[in-house]
Amino acid sequence: MGRLLAALIWVITIASVWLFANARWWFPPGITEHAPDYDRQFMLTIIVVGFAFVVAQLALGVAVWRYSSKGDRAERAVYTHGNNRLEMLWTGITAVIFIGVALLGQRVWARLHFYEAPAGAAQVHVVAQQFQWNFHYPGADGQFGHTDPKLIKDSELNFVGLDEQDPAAKDDQVVTTLVIPVNRPVELALRSKDVTHSIWVPETRFKQDLVPGMNINVHYTPVQTGKFELACAELCGQLHYKMKSYLLVVPQDVYNEMIRLPQAGFQTRVTQLLKDYPLGISQVPPRAAPAAQQ
């Protein structure tokens, strides 16, 4: 019985390690500046975790394999109540490793969250609502128009409550796709109209809740162009699983060009880019915008 259990424990251990070593089910390639550091920290942690996991399971298996009772009434186990020196040694080693990993695990976090977005970052206001993402861009003047929850009227397509009276609002664009320029920091101002949502694009190695009543500013820098799926990662109701959008990372000139377009042109351009870009990282230069050709 002991040997069967030991064998089973080892088989499970090997299968688990294989599952993690298998490149088929792994992170998609990262597209942000911090992604390589994220992946390194993940690998380091997984190696520590994997090592501890394998050693513990191996030891358990060995104990189970070796120390089986023979059913002899006269047999006796080793009689001790422990070993304080071993105990201290073990505690010391794990404490150093765990705390060390914990400290290393703050670096990317600190870089992203302890500093304001660098000057010149592209700005997008994100307003989530049940099962829809709204991305609000400042338009040609680079200034966001005034918004007010009182003005929100989904039925009139004013999803973010944009104040039409405000001159700065005239050129603002609101679409349901997130478009950002490559190799330039982007600052997202995150808000939610109704319940808590969470913005999640696996390739960015970044996730942040959008909380009603709060305005949360985050920033990162994409370094690859392409089209990526954007999901909601915080349960927000019935159709949570369908609250989908796309992240488009486009060359800077394309971005600068489209940010000057009026709402309708911007919308058309986004639709076109969504069509042109295949899913994933891609260098395909998107077709020139119709407006620019004229």
Q: Scanning residues 50 to 79, which ones bind other proteins (CB under 8 A)?
A: 52-53, 56-57, 59-60, 63-64, 67-70, 73, 75-79
Cα 130 to its chain centre, rounded Å, is 20
Q: Least CB distance from residue 22 to other proteins, whole Å?
A: 7
Give the Cα-Cα-Cα angle 242, 134, 150 (nearest 5 degrees): 120
Decide whether 154 or 164 has the Cβ nearer to other proteins: 154
Q: How far is the CB of 242 from other proteins (least distance, A)?
A: 5
In whole angstroms, the minimum distance from the beta carbon of 264 to other proteins comes to 23
> CB of 122: closest distance to other proteins in angstroms?
20
Nearest to other proteins of 103, 119 (CB atom): 103
The Cα 116–Cα 103 span in angstroms is 22
Binding mask 245-274 for other proteins (x = CB under 8 A): ------------------------------
Task: Give the pairing of strands 206-210 and 226-232.
Answer: unpaired
Pick out residues in 144-183 that bind other proteins (CB under 8 A).
149-150, 152-155, 161
CA angle 151, 181, 139 (to 5 degrees): 35
Please report how close the Cβ of residue 139 comes to other proteins at its closest, in angstroms. 23
Q: Which helix (H) or strand (E) holds 184?
A: none
Cβ distance to other proteins smaller for residue 205 or 258: 205
Q: Which residues lie closer than 8 Å to 171 by C-beta, 6 or more apart?
A: 138, 139, 140, 141, 262
Write the CB contacts of 178 (distance below 8 Å, at least 6 apart in sequence).
124, 126, 133, 135, 230, 245, 246, 247, 248
Span 207-246, contacts to other proteins by CB under 8 A:
207-209, 211-214, 216, 229, 231-242, 244
